[in-house]
Each structure stands twice: as structure tokens, then as C-alpha cells.
């Protein structure tokens, strides 16, 4: 009988001890594995969604490698042949070849760092209002309409001139790809020019820029 009273007392004590699940906050579930079949909307909103997917997976090196590799234009020499006029095609292909020497590793480190910050992506369609000779050259001499987007990152509460430039992107086969990232990502104050200087661009029409909203411009051509 004495033994039964001891056992009963132990059960009463255990009932008042908080379970580990109640004493500790539940851990957030890991982000889903990136899906190579994911298609994004052909708009700034779609590009933002793709960038957020990269950011979500940036802390896992294997997942980050997969989603960043998807930014590369497959058979990019064929792409530039299809998109750009013959007198500038080889220039952009050569720039892309040089950029790929260290772009993947550089962007993996970049997104891993951005994932530790509080900030936001800024997306701007450059076609109607290029802000540099490089942007004029990127938008000029294409064989058809191609929407080109500049992407930057700004930390919350940081000065307006402290954004990081993350290169230029175009839409191909259901997702956005790097169009130009030689010498990118660019830290504030850096001056980025394509090696040898960009091809001379034709004058561009003025127009409004887009940031983080669906594009009102006509859709880009897809070779």
C-alpha cells in the first residue's frame, strides 16, 4: 500500500512538469526543396517571387546552388544569337562567358548574406527609361521586344544611396535568367562597365519605371 501511494505521488508530480513541446517554441519547418519545374509569371511580380525563393533557400548550400544555377541562360550563345543583332551578339556572348567564371559562387555568398538582413528587392524595367550607357546598350539592337529588368537590394532603414546592384534579368522558358551580371553584384559607389565598353546604343524613349508591380508594358519575346 505504501508503494502504491509513492507511485501515485510520482504521477501527480509528472503531470505538473511542462512537456518539452510546451516549454520550448516550435521550430519553423524547413523551406521546401526548390522545384526545377516551377514556372514564374512574366512580370516584375514573378521575378520578385523567384528572388524570394532563392533567398528562402540561401542558408542551405545545396538548395541555394540549385536555384541559383537556374538563373543561367541555357545554351546562352544560341540565346544571344536569337535575341541580339549580329554586330553586338558576340560582345554579349563574350561578356556572359566571362561572368560565368565566378558568378555562381559569388551569388551564393551574396544571397546567404542577404538572408541574414532585413531588406527588400527593388525591380525596375529598363527598356523605356535606361539610366546608364550600359542599360541603353542592353536594350538596343535586339531583334524583337525583350523586357529587361534591373534588380537591386536595399536594407531597411539604410540610406537611399546604399543599395546593392544585382545585375540584369530577362524571361526565358518559365523563369527569369541573368542577362548581364559581369562585375555584379555591385556594391554602393562602384562603377560597373562591360569590358571594352558597351556597344553604342540608339537613343531610347523616356517612360516610367516599374518596381515590384506587374508590368504594364508588352510581354517580352521568348526565343
> Which secondary-structure segment (H or E) carries 177?
strand 175-180
In a domain, residue 23? The reply is no
In a domain, residue 191? The reply is yes
- The domain containing residue 207 runs over which residues? 40-217
- What's the whole-number mean pLDDT along residues 111-126? 94
Question: What's the pLDDT band for 220 if we cut at 50, 70, 90?
Answer: very low
- Position 17 pLDDT exceeds 80: no
In a domain, residue 165? The reply is yes
In a domain, residue 17? The reply is no
| 108-112, 146-150, 161-165, 219-223: least confidently modelled range | 219-223
Cis peptide before 185 (omega within 30 of 0): yes
- What's the whole-number mean pLDDT along residues 126-154? 95
- What is the spatial distance between Cα 155 and Cα 122, in angstroms, rounded to a whole number? 11
Q: Taking the complete model, does pTM exceed 0.75, yes or no?
A: no
In a domain, residue 34? The reply is no
More confident residue, 94 or 195: 94
- Position 7 pLDDT exceeds 80: no
Q: Which pLDDT score, from 0 to 100, does residue 168 have?
A: 97
- What's the whole-number mean pLDDT along residues 209-219? 36
- What is the spatial distance between Cα 75 and Cα 129, in angstroms, rounded to a whole number? 29
Amino acid at each position: 500500500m505504501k508503494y502504491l501511494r509513492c507511485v501515485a505521488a510520482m504521477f501527480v508530480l509528472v503531470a505538473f512538469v511542462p512537456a518539452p513541446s510546451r516549454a520550448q517554441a516550435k521550430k519553423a519547418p524547413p523551406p521546401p526543396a526548390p522545384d526545377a519545374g516551377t514556372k514564374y509569371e512574366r512580370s516584375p511580380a514573378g521575378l520578385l517571387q523567384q528572388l524570394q525563393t532563392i533567398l528562402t533557400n540561401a542558408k542551405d548550400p545545396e538548395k541555394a546552388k540549385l536555384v541559383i544555377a537556374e538563373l543561367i541562360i541555357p545554351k546562352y550563345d544560341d540565346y544571344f544569337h536569337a535575341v541580339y543583332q549580329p554586330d553586338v551578339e558576340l560582345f554579349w556572348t563574350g561578356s556572359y562567358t566571362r561572368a560565368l567564371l565566378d558568378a555562381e559562387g559569388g551569388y551564393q555568398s551574396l544571397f546567404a548574406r542577404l538572408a541574414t538582413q532585413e531588406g527588400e528587392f527593388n525591380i525596375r524595367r529598363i527598356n523605356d527609361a535606361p539610366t546608364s550607357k550600359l542599360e541603353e546598350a542592353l536594350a538596343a539592337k535586339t531583334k524583337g521586344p525583350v523586357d529587361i529588368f534591373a534588380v537591386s537590394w536595399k536594407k531597411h532603414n539604410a540610406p537611399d544611396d546604399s543599395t546593392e546592384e544585382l545585375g540584369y534579368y530577362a524571361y526565358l522558358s518559365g523563369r527569369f535568367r541573368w542577362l548581364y551580371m559581369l562585375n555584379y553584384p555591385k556594391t554602393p559607389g562602384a562603377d560597373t562597365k562591360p569590358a571594352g565598353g558597351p556597344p553604342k546604343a540608339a537613343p531610347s524613349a523616356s517612360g516610367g519605371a516599374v518596381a515590384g508591380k506587374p508590368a504594364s508594358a508588352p510581354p517580352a519575346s521568348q526565343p
